[in-house]
Chain A
Amino acid sequence: MSESKTIIDVRTTGAGVVSRRGFVSSIASGFGLAGMGWTDLLAISADDMRKKRMSVIMLWMQGGPSQFETFDPKPESANGMGTKAIETAVPGIRIAEGWEKTAAMMKDIALVRSMTSKEGNHQRATYANHTGYVPTGTVKHPSFGSLCAAELGEPNFDLPHIVAVGNQGAAGSSAGFLGVQYEPFMVEDPQEMPTNVESAVATARFNRRLDVLARLEKAGFGKSSGANRVKEHQALYKQTAGMVLSPRVRAFDLEEESSEVRDAYGRNAFGQGCLLARRLVQQGVTFVEVRSNGWDMHRGLKETMAKNSAQVDTGMAALIQDLKQRNLLDTTLVIWMGEFGRTPKINPNAGRDHYPRAFSVAMAGGGIKGGQVIGATSKDGTEVSESPASIQDLLRTFCATLKIDANKENVSPQGRPLKIVDGGKPIKSLLA
């Protein structure tokens, strides 16, 4: 049967589609009638291939989300701003109102309420929490996502190892000195296919062009001083064309999802970004960062928070639930975090200012033991009162559960060895 042969073909290549023609002919021979979409079938084989391959989805709250109005409410304190605490699926764990859907998933979620740092400036803190290092002018540290991509990604995978969804360029989110193959592939609007990912001409002509390009290059520049350059260029073009022609690229196309699923994630950029993240992880992408803006709530916190939390609560809860249903949660670490927390004191503009001394992060899946809270803050929320945790502690924990050696050293262009995580200790009780 030509159909099953094609599937096996995909399985054996795993990371990529060697023969596009095989697919085209299979479609022609009525494979589509099997009742499942292409991406579904590919996903099945990808899941199979991945076995225990780990992925990470980071939900990044740009601006610094208030811990009081998210995962560390203080209804009894004057600093609590009147925010109520709601019950969750785990008795004894209460989180802020506005996060009802997330509360229902609490059995899978672990909270760390005792994060602490010194970086109170957006750029520096964003950089520090993305890389585990403070910014310096002379070394561009790779983001944790790029490090994961380098450590966990399959070498010949035909989609990018790391994808960033949402606004461009959070500080420290680049591959730094690790090199371009671990640079995040940017998707500005998850509701549209990424820029230039679709061929401008029909597939046959696209292939024809690639073919004549290869032959001309070999005969010209490739015969002289450009032999190596042509070779590298052709390798890149093969990889990129592989992505353009790969059925997996349809993972970027949310139109393939039912409207029920799309609704469940929330019809907004963040919710749809979470859905895209699930689709990408399903296809074998190692790290997806989905960004949510507008958490820098210096004024009118309550109103902005209500708007933001509605989107993120829906998207995050749907994501965790969906991953769980698809048996992907065990191999997918979901992280919710921002660059710092916000001041216990409410400022005259009914907002809260930057506060790196105490903030919260949430996580689920990927071998993290859910249904628990690590650390605590004092009654008035001004300081960490129990089990303080640094970004390095957190990243070490992630490394432990992702089976990445945090002590592995990468060498910067200046010849300086830099550990994946410098310092810190894993938070043992988070590990299942």
Chain B
Amino acid sequence: MIRFSLTRHFQPASKSFLAFVLCPLLAVSIGADDAKKAAKKSEKKPGNAVVNKEDGKERKALAKALESEGKSAEEAKKLLDVITPADRREALRTIQAIQSFVKAVGDAEEKSKNNGPNIEKLLASRPKKVVEPTKFSATDIDRLMLESLAKAGVKAADLTDDETFLRRASLDLTGVLPSPEMLEKFQKSSDPEKRNKAVSQLIKSPGFAATQAKYWRDVIRFRATETQQRRFQPQALEKYFNEKFAANTPWDEIAREMITAMGPIDDNPAVLLTTAQESKSEETAGEVSRIFMGIQIQCAQCHDHPTDSWKRQQFQQFAAFFSGVRTVNYTGNAVGAAQRVFGPKAVGQVVHQVANPKDPTDMQQFSPKFFLGDSADELPVSVSVEGRRAVAASYIAAQDNPWFARAFINRAWYQLMGDAFYMPVDDIGPEREGKNLELLDALASAWTRRGFDIAWLYQTIASSQTYQRQSRQPSGESTEADISGANCPTRLRADQLLQNLRMVTGMPILGVKPVENSRAARAQMAKAKAAGATLANQGPLGRALIKAVQTFSFDPSTPDEDVVGTIPQALFMMNAPDLNRAVEARDGSVLSTILEEHPKDDKAVLSAIYKRVLAREPNAEESKIATDYIAEVGKRSEAFEDLFWSLLNSAEFLSRR
């Protein structure tokens, strides 16, 4: 209303008038509360009783106000003559509102100018990272574990044999099966330290960084809402993680980079955590909390959490750390679609504001504030994107935030033990009940003191007897007792499975026809890859690989019991033409080589196949079944093809145990 009556009479030239017109847009960014209050106040003033005296005052006030808005006295008088008293009142009220609004804007700007030093001061006041040696070792894990087992009246499983240990450690730490040669060498060694040495070697091998990189890529990829490939590139993310893990970069440094990174993906792939969520504040906040602290605070996005104590207010304050960012095209549209480089950027409105779910017209503002720890400061509402993210990282990836260490260890423990302190692995936090938490706390505090050294953590857990126990399936009866009196089997991830298939059969198995998987096709793929083509552009094999990975992938944050085998997976393992071709005893194939090595000795062939596929010898019953089968089929090579196929199609081949 006001706006219309004004435009009728005034040239909307004055700066503050424009500010008023833009008010709905601007109010949200700067001191809107003050402006609103001012507007309300001035609304009340004119009141009901309008006396002539008041009228004169109003005239004067409006004239003055107009002058302060840059009108000459003459112009002001002219205007005052033509407008009705009602309009005059409206105009006065409006200008007063504008002026107090402008003042509020100025105040807010002044305040935000002070943000720089404030942020620096705040960051400086956060405790410095201190790395110190710790005496905590694998034996402490075992001691704490045995104590809690004793308390629960559970007997620990015996230590596992060498072949099971090596298969487990090799799969867990490098993603692939040990080769038959490695297994033989390991079994023959009489070095009492051979298990610890093997763990140490595996962690130092490139396979460790590679398999962890794939794991963390999937942690993010499976929850990514961004579907445009140029904006979220899982391969670039994997490469980033691979470099970090290969250099044993401490976890807090990785986290800090990922939380604070801005800019083009090509310059800084750490931004991919943000672009995975389309750079949206609430989504990024939810993922940062879930990934780095294991706390699912995003459930409080729309309303106070029904069972947890997190309030919507707390979630939105946390989301405010990530506001003011959009994924933008850094190269511009002049460049072809395939050459465009995207990334998150501080764009426009930095203040985090969300519609009140109870009243969509009510836009609510939230200042950044960390929800853990009572001492966390609330930041001013308009801190810069860089400033607010730096503060967020300083609270999250910190030695005084116990959930940062616990969240990572919970996942590492799950990878190595097949069970975790909290399940699902990404739903932990003060609201959840876990098991064996004395051990987790001790390990987390030691790892924190060690400065979040990832290699140390894996070395320490994998050298423990707790890791090296025989596997048992989770009892399911007593949740208290089933923690890691043994190691629990879990399903292998897609990357592990496909690598193992390749290793065992000597060729990549992609679920395609043998002609499509020929040497020539593979050479073509390698050439395209060397030329920098993405997987999708590496010919039919590239696309087949994408499909194969899709077939076997699952969200690594999902509890094993919820990861169910699928029909397409079973179809692939049963019927894939290249897999069936690869198990044949044809010239030069894996099986024909083994058969030629042992022309008469079926037992030796069987042992070789078992070692190759399952990294162990067959037991007596399996040997008997196999021997009977060979006799029943009659044709030696055909029977062994079937047995080779059967082992590849077994649940054991798909599992770590």
Interface residues of A (CB under 8 A from B): 123, 135-138, 160, 171, 179-181, 183, 185-186, 195-201, 205-206, 208-209, 212-213, 215-217, 219-230, 232-234, 236-237, 239-241, 243-244, 413-416
Indicate if the CB atoms of A200 and B558 lie closer than 8 Å.
no
> Is B643 in contact with chain A by the CB < 8 A criterion?
yes
Query: Separation in Å of the A203 CB from the closest CB of chain B?
Result: 12
Contacts of A185 in B (CB 8 A): 567-568
Indicate whether B565 reaches chain A with its CB closer than 8 angstroms. yes
Within 8 A of A (CB), among B638-654: 642-643, 645-647, 649-652, 654
Q: Assess whether B622 is in contact with A160, with CB atoms less than 8 Å apart.
A: no
Q: Of the candidates B290, B298, B642, B651, which one forms a contact with A217 in the assembled complex, judged by CB atoms under 8 Å apart?
A: B651
With an 8 A cutoff between CB atoms, is B534 at the interface? no
Set B227, B471, B580, B625: member contacting A201, Cβ < 8 A: B580
Does B427 touch A at the CB level, under 8 Å? yes
Closest to B579 in A: A200
Whole-angstrom distance between the Cβ of A137 and the nearest chain B Cβ: 4
* Chain B: minimal CB distance from A336 (Å): 24
Residues on B lying within 8 angstroms of A by beta carbon are: 223-225, 227-228, 276-277, 283, 286-287, 290, 296, 298-299, 301, 307, 424, 427, 470-473, 486, 488-489, 511, 547, 558, 562, 564-568, 570-572, 574-577, 579-580, 618-619, 621-622, 625-626, 629, 633, 642-643, 645-647, 649-652, 654-655, 657
Interface centre among A137, A217, A232 (most CB of B within 10 A): A137
- Shortest distance between the CB of B551 and any CB in chain A (Å): 9
Contacts of B622 in A (CB 8 A): 216, 219-220
Residues on the A chain within 8 Å of B224, using CB = 137
Q: Are A229 and B625 CB-contacts (below 8 A) given A196-B568, A220-B619?
A: no
A219-B619 contact in complex given A200-B576, A200-B580, A240-B570, C-beta closer than 8 Å: yes
Q: Is B286 a contact of A229 with CB atoms below 8 Å?
A: no
Given contacts A205-B642, A219-B619, A413-B558, contact A195 B570 (CB under 8 A): no
Closest to A194 in B: B571
Apart from A209-B649, A221-B651: 6 A-B pairs, beta carbons within 8 A? A136-B286, A217-B650, A225-B472, A226-B652, A226-B655, A237-B570
Given known pairs A219-B621, A220-B618, A220-B619, the reply for A180 and B564 (CB within 8 Å) is: yes
Given contacts A136-B225, A224-B471, contact A216 B626 (CB under 8 A): yes
In the bound complex, what is the Cα–Cα distance between A138 and B277 (angstroms)?
Answer: 10
Q: Which of A195, A205, A216, A223 meets B571, CB within 8 Å?
A: A195
Inter-chain contact A233/B650, CB cutoff 8 Å = yes
Contact A179 B564 (CB under 8 A): yes
Min CB distance B67 to A, Å, is: 45
Q: How far is the CB of A155 from chain B (nearest CB, A)?
A: 15
Q: Point out the residues of chain B lying under 8 angstroms from A200, CB to CB.
A: 574-577, 579-580
A209 to B583, CA, bound (A): 13
With both beta carbons as reference points, the residue of chain B lying nearest to A159 in the complex is identified as B567
Q: Which 8 A-B pairs have the closest CB atoms?
A: A233-B651, A200-B580, A240-B570, A225-B471, A221-B652, A213-B646, A219-B621, A196-B571
A416 to B298, CA, bound (A): 11
Contact B574 A241 (CB under 8 A): yes
A229 touches B225 (CB 8 A): no
User: CA–CA, A213 to B299, complex, Å?
Assistant: 45
Would A179 and B657 be within 8 Å (CB), given that A225-B473, A228-B473 are in contact? no
Q: Is the interface of A mostly helix, strand, loop or mixed?
A: helix
Alpha-carbon distance between A432 and B424 when the two chains are bound, in angstroms: 46
CB neighbours of B580 from chain A (8 A): 200-201
B residues less than 8 Å from A215 (CB atoms): 625
Determine if B296 and A240 form an interchain contact, defined as CB atoms under 8 angstroms apart. no
Contacts A/B (CB < 8 Å), 28 sampled: A123-B227, A135-B225, A136-B286, A138-B223, A138-B283, A160-B567, A179-B562, A180-B565, A185-B567, A195-B511, A195-B547, A195-B568, A196-B576, A200-B574, A201-B580, A208-B633, A208-B642, A209-B642, A219-B619, A220-B621, A224-B471, A225-B486, A225-B488, A233-B565, A233-B651, A236-B565, A240-B571, A413-B558
Task: Note all chain B residues with C-beta closer than 8 A to A199.
Answer: 574-575
Residue of A nearest to B619 (CB): A220
By beta carbon, the residue of chain A nearest B570 is: A240
Q: How far is the CA of A239 from the CA of B621 in the complex (A)?
A: 27
Task: Give the complex CA separation of A243 and B569 in angstroms.
Answer: 13
Q: Which residues of A contact B228 (CB under 8 A)?
A: 123
Of B470, B572, B575, B625, chain A has the most CB atoms within 10 Å of the CB of B575
Contact A196/B511 with A230-B651, A232-B565 known, Cβ cut-off 8 Å: yes
User: In the complex the two chains form, is A198's CB within 8 Å of B296's CB?
Assistant: no
Instruction: Please pick, from B299, B424, B651, the residue contacting A229 in the complex, using a CB distance under 8 A.
Output: B651
A162 CA to B482 CA, complexed, in Å: 37
Q: Contact at A138–B567, with CB atoms within 8 Å?
A: no
How far is B645's CA from A205's CA once the two chains are assembled, in angstroms? Answer: 11
Closest residue of chain A to B559 (Cβ to Cβ) is: A413
Nearest chain A residue, comparing its CB with the CB of B563: A180
Which chain B residues border A223 with CB–CB below 8 Å? 619, 621
Residues of A within 8 A of B299 (CB): 138, 414, 416
A219 to B620, CA, bound (A): 9
- Residues of the A chain whose Cβ atoms lie less than 8 Å from the Cβ of B572: 195-196
Q: Are A414 and B564 in contact (CB under 8 A)?
A: no
Contact B575 A213 (CB under 8 A): no
User: Given that A209-B645, A244-B575 are contacting pairs, would A232 and B564 also be in contact in the complex, using a CB cutoff of 8 Å?
Assistant: yes
* Across-interface contacts of B287 in A (CB, < 8 A): 137-138
- Is B562 in contact with A225, judged by CB distance below 8 angstroms? no
Cross-interface CB contact of B625 among A186, A212, A415, cutoff 8 Å:
A212
Q: How far is the CB of B508 from chain A (nearest CB, A)?
A: 16
Tell me which residues across on chain A come within 8 A of B568, comparing CB atoms: 185-186, 195-196
| In contact, A136 and B283 (Cβ under 8 angstroms) | yes
CB neighbours of A240 from chain B (8 A): 567, 570-571, 574
Shortest C-beta distance, A140 to chain B (Å), equals 8
B427 near A183 with CB under 8 A, answer: no
Q: Chain B residues near A228 (CB, 8 Å)? A: 473
Question: Is B296's CB under 8 angstroms from A138's CB?
Answer: yes
Compute how far the CA of A228 lies from the CA of B563 in the bound complex, rounded to whole angstroms.
Answer: 13
Say yes or no: B574 contacts A196, CB within 8 Å.
yes
* Residues of chain A with a CB closer than 8 A to B621's CB: 219-220, 223
| A195 CA / B569 CA spacing, docked (Å) | 11
Chain A residues contacting B576 (CB-CB under 8 Å) are: 196, 200
Q: Which residues of B contact A234 (CB under 8 A)?
A: 651
- What separation, in Å, do the CA atoms of A225 and B646 have in the docked complex? 19
Q: How far is the CA of A237 from the CA of B565 in the complex (A)?
A: 9
Contacts of A137 in B (CB 8 A): 223-225, 276-277, 283, 286-287, 298
CB distance from A211 to the nearest CB of B (A): 9
A236 contacts B625, C-beta separation under 8 Å: no
Measured between beta carbons, the chain A residues less than 8 angstroms from B227 are: 123, 171
Contacts A226-B652, A236-B567, A243-B567 given; does A414 touch B646 at CB 8 Å = no
CA distance A351 to B427 in the complex (A): 48
How far, in whole Å, are A244 and B571 apart by their CA atoms in the complex?
A: 8
Contacts of B565 in A (CB 8 A): 180, 232-233, 236
Report the minimum CB–CB distance from B258 to chain A (whole Å).
15
- Chain A nearest CB: distance from B215 CB in Å? 19
**A44 CB to closest chain B CB, in angstroms?**
26
Contacts of A195 in B (CB 8 A): 511, 547, 568, 571-572
Contacting B296 at CB < 8 Å: which of A171, A179, A237, A414?
A: A414
**A225, B469: Cα distance in complex, Å:** 12
**Cβ-closest chain B residue relative to A171:** B227
| Chain B residue at smallest Cβ distance from A134 | B225
Residues A138 and B286 in contact, CB atoms below 8 Å apart: yes
Assembly CA distance A137 to B288 (angstroms): 11
Taking CB atoms, residues of chain A closer than 8 Å to B489 are: 225-226, 229
A208 to B645, CA, bound (A): 11
CB distance from B219 to the nearest CB of A (A): 12
Q: How far is the CA of A16 from the CA of B176 in the complex (A)?
A: 38
Interface centre among B227, B299, B470 (most CB of A within 10 A): B227
A64 smallest CB distance to B (angstroms): 16
* Closest beta carbon of chain B to A373's beta carbon, Å: 31
**Across the interface, do B567 and A239 meet the contact criterion of CB distance under 8 Å?**
yes
